[in-house]
Each structure stands twice: as C-alpha cells, then as structure tokens.
Amino acid sequence: MKKKLVVLTGAGISQESGIPTFRDSGGLWEGHDVMDVASPDGWEKDPKMVLEFYNQRRKQILKVKPNRGHEIIAELEEQFDTTVITQNIDNLHELAGSTKVIHLHGSIFETRPVSDPSRIYHLEGPKLNLGDTDEFGEQLRPNVVWFGEMVPRMIDGIEYAEEADIFVVAGTSLIVYPASGLIEYVPIETPKFIVDPKLPQVSNKANLFLFEEKASKGLEMVRKALLNDHLY
C-alpha cells in the first residue's frame, strides 16, 4: 500500500509560473487594496469592480503554465497516495497532472451565488460579469474565499493532515490563517518537509526538515529524499 503524502502549497509555487503574490507588492493586487477586491464589504461596495478584477486575474492565469514544482508533485503520485492541499485559486496543479487537489480558498474557475456557497458552478468562459446569474436568478460571484469568510474545506484539510504519512509544505509562509495551522494536526512521527526561500518560524517539531529554496528546486530535493528514503 502506498504511503499517504500530503502536500500543502501556497502562493510561492504559483509565483514561479508568473502569478504575482499580493504580499510581495505591499498588500496590493494590481494596484487594488486587497480589502476592496477580496472581502464581502468590497463586493457590497462595488461588485462590478470585483468581478473585473477577477476577470483580469483569470486572464493572467490562463496565460501561464505549471512549473517544475507543480510537475514534481504530480509525478509523486506514481510512488505515493498524494493529496494536494492548496491555498491557491489557480488550476496549475490540475494542469500538471495532480488528480486529488483540495482548494482551501476555492477556485477562480468556479462561481457560486452570493447567498449559497454550497451551489458551485464551473465557469464557462474567461469572464464573469454583473448580470450573470444562476438558474434561480441570483448573481454569481467567484467561488473564492474572501477575507473574513469561513474556509469550508479546512475540515477536509485537517482530516488529510491527521492521516499523513509524509507532510510537505511548499511555497507558503505559514502565516495565512487557518491553513497555517494544518501542520499542527500532522502526527508527531510523520516526517515534515518545509520548502520556502523565506523559511517560516516553526516551533520545534520532531522529524522536521527545512529547505530554504524556491518551490521547484526545493521540491526536487524533497523528491530525491523521499525516493532514496535517506532522511527518515
């Protein structure tokens, strides 16, 4: 039976494909204050602007490709029962070939009505506009988790973290709550690998291995360690 490998990814892995992170631009996303375009209040104030912002991000994502980091994670499915838990709203893990992906913060290629987060639709086409409604006539919004909203798939993430035989963190600072807390649910005996050019502050943990590298390079090092089984 394959060991259960759980990989938590963040903005750093997508950044290598050319998708900017708002934390690296002073809290701005393409010149917008994050609370204006990624919060319920921002939506209430100007839904048209919010929709256009995500249309532009979607257009940007459609132009990029998965990088070696995404590919390595997908390739590990050959040796491990691999689950990706990502904070990213793009589809680069899927494009790279990963078959089991949990989007903690939703997907930019999905929509949902404002009133019901459980009714999720795949977005047909690159744009979502004001006036685009579901079959009940309700305005659709991007199916992404905004600041101040619940993270419904966190429960799934916790379950996988608790059952992980190997836990890898790549391209995330581990400061975005609640995803940052997932590592706390990983069993003590489980090897934990963290890959990031700016390693996060992590309390002393057993079986913790740190790689101060970008996701693609660090994940190659992790892959070799896992396949050679020489670190644990």
Q: Which residues participate in catalysis according to the annotation?
A: 105
Beta bridge partners of 112: 141
Q: What angle do CA 205, 229, 77 make, to 5 degrees?
A: 95
Q: Which helix (H) or strand (E) holds 208?
A: strand 208-211
Alpha helix (H) ranges present in 46-179?
47-62, 68-75, 92-96, 154-162
Phi, psi torsion values for 39, nearest 5 degrees: -150, 155
Q: Which helix (H) or strand (E) holds 122?
A: strand 121-122
CB atoms under 10 Å from CB of 205, counted, come to 13
The distance from CA 73 to its chain's CA centroid, rounded to whole angstroms, is 13
Helix (H) or strand (E) holding 26, with range, is none
DSSP SS3 for 93: helix
Which residues neighbour 90 within 8 Å (Cβ) at sequence distance 6 or greater? 14, 19, 61, 107, 108
